[in-house]
A and B are shown apart, each in its own frame.
Chain A
């Protein structure tokens, strides 16, 4: 069991559970040092968990904003080893849960056992692998659980009959994809998230966090009412793309506003 649960134990002043805010950035964009600074800014602004993208040459589940961040990070020399270094360094400064988002090939290439051992040693809590659906998870499950790293399962609006099967095996939290398509900001989210979350609640107690397309405080507040967590990625990556090395303060300000919205304060 990892540290992840902690992110979902937030309570408002009256003692009522409240939704967690989860921020995402691509590790190494524009540099490892800046990624560390931005993660710490997110945490200072109230992020309850941070997802760090491991850059990949061909991120097929991402829209243009995160694709370009992947290219920038790789061009700046990001490697899996340096990403582990980033986690290790962050771990000495914060105990907020940290999760990788990576495509399977870099993990496969590193070797499953060595990867998850290194992840545990660095202090990583979980991993999201967008091209590893439930059916292929047995490939990494043994190594991940041996070293106590949660595999975060994704559920999509199209998962239908598979929702229960996925939920039963889920660890850490469930990443509920808000809408069809790749990552990126959306003007509105039409999926009936409420009924998917209700179906999940029948099967599992594991927290459900919603991601893909969320970027305004109003959307965050809306989703914060029904989900255990709200995940925001592209909007943060966009701020980093716009302000580069000077993005720290902008990231803080944005995450602060979103956190307040999610918490319903």
Chain B
């Protein structure tokens, strides 16, 4: 084995997971991206510009809100909500997108492309592109463009071109395939702003670093408010970007339980779910080795969730590693439990959250009563729920004219 092979072999790994399983055409670009990132992440000008945008444009730090009524109602641990839904564009996605768009600009790129499921990442990417003067194209499964029409229109208002992907299952997985295909064809002037902690190295690390601001803030906010660390932090998991952001700075705190909530759809014993850790197995796809929902032949399975953002057959490699080592725990949450939690939070605290985030809330409703009143837990409210109102209504058998 040559030295080059040896030095690259374990790069970008979390345990056995991660890696760079992508077409040769992208390899040089991925290597350049890693070099650029390693340079700019410590570059004072870059860091200052990103911090400025996060503070003055995205609206950070996001609030750590004490959900007093919910805490009293559940009768256990004090519940705090990390309000990523209050960010500009309405979700945690803006943290990563501002970072990557700035990086793309520094690399001399004039165009960004991105995949999106529910549209939160697409809206964030279109927003950053508008702000920074980059051309922007978004790839979204045809089925998702139908169930998230409002976000499609929002992206178009922001000047992005939205491509409805008609191949495969016409959802997030296929949007990723199509964005990769587009990137292979135009790697010279285009950066792929990957939306989650997935894909080939260095994306899982870059996205995690940009999202780790969530736990950085939450950790100091909770210490200031409660004088102690939380008993648990809870976040929903599709690819897992808000979850890794919520977990990251708590990983060294052994007493803090890290809990990821994945989409169980109609139930993990039915074929209609997206519960990768509960039902998946190790595989290699979308540039990474991780857990995937797949069949005996290694064909990627069609997955399902009421939430377009969680409707993904894989999970980021760092999560796979946190699962294997037992540092984090992953629990499946059904559509029904998520919808109930969505309605519960609206009535109890006056907050309409994303259906993705409602998966985390649903588990917190079970968890909080098991924990003493002198403890606290933090739930990442990854996004706001405007986009989901009509889907919830439909689930409950009502029709809304949008």
A264 interface residue per 8 A CB criterion? no
Interface residues of A in 54-112 (CB under 8 A from B): 56-58, 60-61, 63-64, 67, 71, 74, 79-80, 104-110
Q: Mark B112-135, 1 if CB is under 8 A from A, else 0.
A: 000000000000000000000000
Residues of A with C-beta under 8 A to B1 = 138
Q: B residues near A, CB below 8 A?
A: 1-2, 4-5, 8-9, 11, 19-29, 167-168, 173-174, 177, 180-181, 184-188, 282-287, 292, 294, 296-300
Give which listed residue, A60, A107, A155, A177, contacts B177 with CB less than 8 A: A60
Q: A182 near B177 (CB under 8 angstroms)?
A: no
Q: B300 near A138 (CB under 8 angstroms)?
A: no
Taking the nearest CB of chain B, how far is it from the CB of A212, in angstroms?
9
Q: A169 near B5 (CB under 8 angstroms)?
A: yes
A265 interface residue per 8 A CB criterion? no
Rounded to whole angstroms, the CA-CA distance of A157 and B24 in the bound complex is 9
Give which listed residue, B21, B25, B282, contacts A136 with CB less than 8 A: B21
Q: B24 near A106 (CB under 8 angstroms)?
A: no
Q: B24 near A104 (CB under 8 angstroms)?
A: no
Residues of A with C-beta under 8 A to B285 = 58, 105
Residues of A with C-beta under 8 A to B174 = 58
- Some 13 contacts from A to B, beta carbons below 8 A apart, are A80-B297, A105-B294, A105-B298, A105-B299, A105-B300, A108-B282, A108-B284, A131-B21, A132-B21, A133-B20, A134-B5, A136-B20, A181-B184
Residues of A with C-beta under 8 A to B177 = 58, 60
Give which listed residue, B21, B186, B286, B299, contacts A56 with CB less than 8 A: B299
CB-nearest residue of chain A to B11: A135
Q: B23 near A133 (CB under 8 angstroms)?
A: yes
Taking the nearest CB of chain B, how far is it from the CB of A74, in angstroms?
7
A217 interface residue per 8 A CB criterion? no
A156 interface residue per 8 A CB criterion? yes
Q: A109-B283, A162-B28 are in contact. List 18 more A-B contacts (CB 8 A).
A: A57-B299, A60-B181, A67-B167, A79-B297, A105-B300, A109-B294, A131-B23, A134-B27, A135-B8, A137-B5, A138-B1, A154-B24, A157-B25, A160-B28, A165-B2, A177-B24, A180-B184, A180-B188
Rounded to whole angstroms, the CA-CA distance of A179 and B282 in the bound complex is 33
Q: A159 near B24 (CB under 8 angstroms)?
A: yes
Q: B5 near A156 (CB under 8 angstroms)?
A: no
Rounded to whole angstroms, the CA-CA distance of A181 and B26 in the bound complex is 10
Interface residues of A in 118-145 (CB under 8 A from B): 130-138
Secondary structure type dominating chain B contacts? mixed
CB-nearest residue of chain B to A104: B284
Given contacts A58-B285, A67-B167, A169-B2, contact A135 B20 (CB under 8 A): yes
A158 interface residue per 8 A CB criterion? yes
Taking the nearest CB of chain B, how far is it from the CB of A85, in angstroms?
14
Given contacts A58-B177, A136-B19, contact A180 B187 (CB under 8 A): yes
Rounded to whole angstroms, the CA-CA distance of A136 and B17 in the bound complex is 12
CB-nearest residue of chain A to B185: A181
Rounded to whole angstroms, the CA-CA distance of A104 and B180 in the bound complex is 16
Q: A residues near B, CB below 8 A?
A: 56-58, 60-61, 63-64, 67, 71, 74, 79-80, 104-110, 130-138, 153-162, 165-166, 168-169, 177, 180-182
Give which listed residue, B20, B28, B180, contacts A158 with CB less than 8 A: B28
Q: A58 near B173 (CB under 8 angstroms)?
A: yes
Rounded to whole angstroms, the CA-CA distance of A105 and B289 in the bound complex is 9
Rounded to whole angstroms, the CA-CA distance of A133 and B27 in the bound complex is 7
Residues of B with C-beta under 8 A to A154 = 23-24
Q: A180 near B23 (CB under 8 angstroms)?
A: no
Give which listed residue, A57, A80, A130, A159, contacts B28 with CB less than 8 A: A159
Q: B298 near A108 (CB under 8 angstroms)?
A: yes
Taking the nearest CB of chain B, how far is it from the CB of A104, in angstroms?
5
- Residue from A60, A63, A153, A165 having most chain B Cβ neighbours under 10 A: A60
Rounded to whole angstroms, the CA-CA distance of A158 and B27 in the bound complex is 8
Rounded to whole angstroms, the CA-CA distance of A177 and B2 in the bound complex is 24
- Residue from A109, A130, A153, A160 having most chain B Cβ neighbours under 10 A: A109
Residues of B with C-beta under 8 A to A133 = 20-24, 27
- Residue from A58, A161, A182 having most chain B Cβ neighbours under 10 A: A58
Residues of B with C-beta under 8 A to A60 = 23, 177, 180-181, 286
Taking the nearest CB of chain B, how far is it from the CB of A155, in angstroms?
6
Q: B21 near A165 (CB under 8 angstroms)?
A: no
Rounded to whole angstroms, the CA-CA distance of A156 and B292 in the bound complex is 29
Given contacts A106-B297, A109-B298, contact A156 B23 (CB under 8 A): yes
Residues of A with C-beta under 8 A to B283 = 105, 108-109
- Residue from B185, B284, B296 having most chain A Cβ neighbours under 10 A: B284
Give which listed residue, B5, B167, B282, B286, contacts A138 with CB less than 8 A: B5
